[in-house]
Amino acid sequence: MTDVLVLETTVASEADARVLADAVVAERLAACAQILGPLESVYWWQGTVTGATEWLLRCKTTTARAEALLARLRELHPYELPELVLLEPHGVEPDYAAWVRESVEAAGQEPAGEEPRDARGSEPGAERLRPPEGRSRGPNG
């Protein structure tokens, strides 16, 4: 068994997925985040079968960082009821698992006075990441 977990969530756009990915990787809640899509989702929402085009975000983390990752995604996610699913892989290549652990365990080890930055060098500020009030998107769309 491994302590590496995979968290999946969906969002309405590639840009939304990128914002979430940049934040959780920069904050060392996930070692990496993959953005896949577009894909089509069909689901029940408010008593009706509906659907939406979405993007899948897949994050690699550890059991030790999973709750913090979930909390951050709940805070940033633009959906009223986000899909947040933690998956436990049957097996993970040992060197990859070690890299995931090292990547997320380095939390708080940025040089003094510096905030974490995303791959493009911008700070993942809450004003950029907060969803608008009155969210109406369902669990998958």
Q: Which two tokens stand for residue 95?
A: 């060197």
110 within 8 A of 116, measured Cβ to Cβ: yes
pLDDT band at 1 (very low <50, low <70, confident <90, very high): confident
SS3 state of residue 78? coil
In CATH, the architecture of 4-113 is 2-Layer Sandwich (3.30)
Please name which of 35, 37, 84, 42 lies closest in space to residue 58, comparing C-alpha atoms. 35
30 within 8 A of 60, measured Cβ to Cβ: yes
For residue range 72-104, what is the model confidence (pLDDT) as tens digits? 999 999 999 999 999 999 999 999 999 999 999
d(CA 136, CA 132): 10
93 within 8 A of 4, measured Cβ to Cβ: no
- Sorted by where each begins, the domain ranges of the chain are 4-113
pLDDT of the residue at 109: 54
pLDDT of the residue at 77: 98
Q: Which two tokens stand for residue 60?
A: 């690699």
